[in-house]
Amino acid sequence: MTMAPRPSGPSRPIALTMGDACGIGPEIVLKACAERSTVTPLRVIGDSALLAREAARLGLPLPRDIESIVQLPADLPVGRVDARAGDAAWRCIVRAAELALRGEVRAIVTAPIAKEALHAAGHRVPGHTELLAELAGGVAVRMMLANAELRTVLVSIHLPLREALEQVTFENVLETIVITHTALRRAGMARPRIAVAGLNPHAGEAGLFGREEIDVIAPAVAEARLRDIEVSGPFPPDTVFMRARGLQTFDVVVAMYHDQGLIPVKYLGIDDGVNVTLGLPFVRTSPDHGTAFDIAGRTTPEGHGLADARSLIAAIRQAEALSAAAGSA
């Protein structure tokens, strides 16, 4: 896909994908459209008939702008992996990316998908982040998870831990620092303060517990500083996140692998966390939780759905703010 000149004007919508239809995606999309506090219009990408049935079940209004690009059966089971839902989710993501690359939407926000369902449908991608990077032309991207207290960016994303350790190279650490610096500056920070976590206990303890900090991470930090990036480390990974909490000492922590970076942010509160993909030619955010098959389709005795839309609403607000800061509104 190639970028095209974007339409001008303040009314470009944010594309909001439906997510996996067997999970809580449709429910939280409807709740976010009904309750969100931002002003940018939303264009929901999904199945209009399914969303209409879900709106009727929950007593929620149907969004005004739905681009119905898939048709799923009315008896699609909820709460479990289904290849049909995986294929529909994939098509919605592809369509949202097309709209963003053509400049028809100012950002995209994606509801949760089931990676197992994607694979069952024949789409062999690890997740949203990697698929969007591919659709954008193979650009280098990184995952940032953020809430009001902490931001963290990952050197590697969805990999087995043994493979993730192999990704801790000078080039990958340096690229992560540069992508983080560039993205935060685009978001309005004049000089982001970046901390880099070590890989080993106590950041290697001067080589006693591993040499990655000495041989790989510290040289990458030094090179980034030569490029006038305000970055420091490597710091012991068991304390650096506390130093960054509250965004007082550091604005963001670069973590070496998935769980090292995401556990601290999610521990602080999963409901307000937002996943941001850095490095794309458009803004993309998502909630920081999954499909929640265990509560999909379930309601309280009063008839209210059990799914909490707060993280998706936060993702929409973040997409609105980031696209405004980047001048893509």
Q: pLDDT 10s per residue in the chain (329 long)?
A: 333 344 444 569 999 999 999 999 999 999 999 986 667 899 999 999 999 999 999 999 999 999 999 999 999 999 999 999 999 999 999 999 999 999 999 999 999 999 999 999 999 888 888 999 999 999 999 999 998 899 999 999 888 999 999 999 999 999 999 999 999 999 889 999 999 999 999 987 888 888 999 999 999 999 999 999 999 999 999 999 999 998 789 999 999 999 999 999 988 876 778 999 999 999 999 998 899 999 999 999 888 899 999 999 999 999 999 998 877 66
Residues 172 and 85 in one domain: no
Residues 168 and 288 in one domain: no
Query: Which pLDDT belongs to residue 1?
Result: 31
Residues 261 and 306 in one domain: no
**273 domain residue, yes or no:** no
Question: 3-class SS at 295?
Answer: coil
**122 domain residue, yes or no:** yes
Residues 168 and 244 in one domain: yes
DSSP assignment of 104-147 equals SSSEEEE----HHHHHHTT---SSHHHHHHHHTTS---EEEEE-
Query: Which pLDDT belongs to residue 100?
Result: 97
Query: Which pLDDT belongs to residue 329?
Result: 64
Residues 282 and 135 in one domain: yes
Residues 10 and 130 in one domain: yes
Query: Which pLDDT belongs to residue 310?
Result: 92
Residues 11 and 30 in one domain: yes
Query: Which pLDDT belongs to residue 158?
Result: 84
State which of 268, 289, 317 marks the end of a domain. Answer: 268
Residues 126 and 161 in one domain: no
Give the span between the Cα atoms of 311 and 294, in whole angstroms.
18
Phi, psi of 145, deg, nearest 5: -110, 135
Q: What is the CATH number of the domain that holds 108?
A: 3.40.718.10
Residues 115 and 239 in one domain: no
Partners of 274 in the β-ladder: 146, 287
**124 domain residue, yes or no:** yes
Question: What is the helix (H) or strand (E) element at residue 152, kind and residue range?
Answer: strand 151-154
Q: Cβ neighbours of residue 11 under 8 Å, at least 6 residues apart?
A: 41
State which of 268, 290, 312 marks the end of a domain. Answer: 268
Number of domains in the chain: 2
Query: Which pLDDT belongs to residue 86?
Result: 97
State which of 218, 234, 268 marks the end of a domain. Answer: 268
Question: 3-class SS at 276?
Answer: strand
**121 domain residue, yes or no:** yes
Residues 167 and 227 in one domain: yes
Residues 324 and 282 in one domain: yes
Query: Which pLDDT belongs to residue 4?
Result: 38
Query: Which pLDDT belongs to residue 5?
Result: 42
- Note whether 32 and 309 are within 8 A (CB): yes
Domain that holds residue 173: 148-268
Residues 251 and 218 in one domain: yes
Task: Count other C-beta atoms under 10 Å from residue 62's C-beta.
Answer: 15
**11 domain residue, yes or no:** yes
